[in-house]
Amino acid sequence: MVKAGTIHAIDAGILIAEIQQNSNCTYRMYDYDRRDKFGNLRELHVEKSLDVVVPEKYVKDNKNEIILARNEHYTEERLVQCKYFEVTKYEVNDEVRIPVDESSFMSALFIEGNGNIAVKDENGETSMKYKPADSFFVSAGKKEIIIRGKGTCLITHV
């Protein structure tokens, strides 16, 4: 997790799951001479970046990263929990069932693996295949997400 205000860079081969409240605000300090769709260098925002950067050394806070469940079927690890959202990582070996309630929607982002994701409610079960980088939105309501297969999934609850 990278906290707001932390200077960071993205290198080749890195997968980023950006989960946050929509701020519609990204400042570029440097952009590796990348170009926009018209061939122009992308705009930099050095002065604005310096106004919001947090200059203290980043210290990772591990108090939210907790193994919630571990068994032969899956491992459930909370990665982040704050007043806006919670992200839980599931390492699925064959199947996991995740309850959904009326409070908010859930998002499922598959990092690796293959299988099926299903949503089960009073009307039955709807299932779709998943592969790495697939993302699914599950609306709020009394239902259950069922992930079958072998893979890694990030579940976000707002």
Catalytic residue numbers read 28
Residues in Cβ contact with 87 at an 8 Å cutoff, skipping those fewer than 6 apart: 17, 19, 78, 79, 80, 81, 154, 155, 156
Do the beta carbons of residue 93 and residue 73 sit within 8 Å? Answer: yes
CA distance 122 to 114: 26
- By C-alpha distance, which of 113, 106, 73, 102 is closest to 88? 106
Distance linking the first and last C-alpha atoms of the chain: 17
